A and B are shown apart, each in its own frame.
Chain A
C-alpha cells in the first residue's frame, strides 16, 4: 500500500466536485490478482452458481442468456437459455439435475441438465429478482412482486404453495437450507420459512437495507447475508442471533493503467461459504472479492481484477479456488493460495 488515506467523506466530496484524482489521493495503489477470465456474456453477468460436483458452472446475465461453463477450464459449453429479457438470478440443486433462472420477462426457467430440456413457468405479477432451487431438485421458490413467495413443483411446473409475505414487500434473496426443510427469504428482514407448514418460524433483524444474497453454511447451522447496507452478517440460526458483522472497506477501480483503492464502503451483493464452512467469500459494488475466516471474521485475502460490481461468488470444490461474476461481462476464477 502507498499513498495517504483521506476520510471517505472528504474523498467523496472532492470526487463529487469532479476531482476524481482525489479519490486516488485518498486511496492506494494495488496489484491485480492473477486469475482466469471466462468470457462469453455480452452484458453484465448477474449471477453465478457452481453445479454439484464442481465440474460445471452456470451463469446468467443482462444479455438474456443462461450459460453453462466447464468449471475446470473456463470453457464456454453452451447457452441453456437465450433470446429472452434480462436474467437476474440462477440457482442449482445439490444433485446435479436441474438449474432454475428468472428475469425481467417474468418467466422462471427450469433447465433439466440430464434430459437436456427446459420449460418456462409464468403467472405471477411483474417479474422476480430471486429464485432458488431446492437441494433435492423438487421445488423452485421465487419472489413475486406482490410480496409473496411462490413454490413450484419442478416436475409438473405447478404452484404447490404460496408463502404469504407483506403486500408489495418483495425481496431478492432466497436460499434453501441444505436439508431442504427451510427456506430463507429476505427483504431487509430475513425470514426463515418452514416450507412444509408454510409458516415463518423465525426472523433475523439487523440489516438496514435490501439483502442481496443469502447463503447457508454446509451444516445448515449458520446463514450469511450480504446487504445493500454495505455489510455482510453471519447468523447463528439456532439462537437467531448475529454472530459476525463484516463491513468491507475499499473500492477498487482501474484508472490510468493502474489499480487504486479508495477508502469507502459500498453495497454488498454476494456471500458464499466454503465446503468445510470455515471460510466465507463476499463481494459487492466495491469490485473486490474477499475471503474471510467464517468464525472470527478475520480478512484472509482480497482478489482485485473485476472492472465493475461483482454480483456473485462461489467456491470450487477441492480447494480449487473461487469464481466470481461481474457486471464487467466476465467471470473470474481465482486461486486461493
Chain B
C-alpha cells in the first residue's frame, strides 16, 4: 500500500469517527429530550390525577351496601323514609345527614339536621325504638336523653339553667336543680 492510499484511508477513518461521534451526540440528545418529555408527562399526569381526586362529588344521596346488597349507610339530603324489619315507615319530618342500618337494613342511628326548625341531632335506636338522642337547637339549648321504657336520663342546658333528671320505673330518683314545690292551693 502506498502512502497516498494510507493517507486516504486515514482520512476516511477520521471522517467515520467524527460521524460516529455526531451520531452518538444526536442519540444522546434524543434520549435526553425523550426522557425529559417522559418525565414531564409523568409529572403532568400525576398532577392531573391529583386534580381528579380533589373533585367534589355532588349528589343528593349516596348509598353504601353490604355483600348481600343490604343498605348499611346512607348519606342524603333529605334522607329517605326509615325501613324497619322490612317495612318502610313515614319519617316525622324531613332531615338531611347520615344514617346507619343493621344487617336487616333496619335504621339504627342517624346524625342529621332537620328541615324547618333547624336542630342537629344524633340518635341511637334499638330495633324499632329510639333510645338515645343528643340534640342541639338553633338558639343553643342542648340536651341528651337516654331512655328505655320507664327508665330515663335527661341532661340539658340552655341560657337560663342546666338540669339533670334521672327516673327509674317512672319515678324521679334524682333531679338537679330540684323541682320547684307546687304552689299553695295547687291541685292535681
Closest to A88 in B: B87
B104 touching A46, Cβ below 8 Å: no
Q: How far is the CA of A267 from the CA of B103 in the complex (A)?
A: 16
Q: Which of A86, A127, A269, A329 contacts B85 (CB 8 A)?
A: A269
A311 and B85 within 8 A (CB): yes
Do residues B87 and A129 form an inter-chain contact, with CB atoms below 8 A?
Answer: yes
- Chain B residues with CB under 8 Å of A46's CB are 86-87
Q: C-beta contact mask, B146-176 vs A, less than 8 Å → 1, else 0? A: 0000000000000000000000000000000
Interchain CA distance A172-B86 in the complex, whole Å: 12
Q: B127 to A285, Cβ gap below 8 A?
A: yes
**A273 interface hit (Cβ, 8 Å):** no
Q: Considering the chains assembled together, what is the distance between the CA atoms of A46 and B70 in angstroms?
A: 13
Within A264-295, the residues touching B (CB, 8 Å) are 266-267, 269, 285
Kindly supply a per-residue 1/0 record for chain A positions 306-337, scoring 1 wherever the CB is within 8 Å of any chain B CB and 0 otherwise.
00110100000000000000011100000000
Interface size in chain A (residues, C-beta < 8 A): 31
Q: Is B105 an interface residue (CB 8 A)?
A: yes
Q: Does A104 contact B (CB under 8 A)?
A: yes
Q: How large is the interface on B (under 10, 10 to 19, 20 to 34, 35 or more residues)?
A: 10 to 19
Q: Let me know if B129 is at the binding interface, CB within 8 A.
A: yes
CB distance A308 to B87 under 8 Å?
no
CA–CA, A42 and B70, complex, Å: 10
Alpha-carbon gap, A247 to B55, bound state (A): 54
Whether A44 contacts B128 in the complex (CB less than 8 A), given A212-B85, A285-B85, comes out as no
Q: 8 Å CB contacts to B: which residues of A1-55?
A: 42-47
Interface, chain B (partner A; CB < 8 A): 68-70, 85-90, 103-106, 127-129
Closest 7 CB pairs of A and B: A46-B86, A228-B128, A129-B87, A88-B87, A327-B104, A309-B104, A311-B86
Chosen A-B contacts, 13 in total, with CB atoms closer than 8 Å, are A42-B69, A44-B70, A44-B86, A62-B105, A88-B86, A129-B88, A228-B128, A269-B85, A285-B85, A309-B86, A311-B85, A327-B86, A327-B105
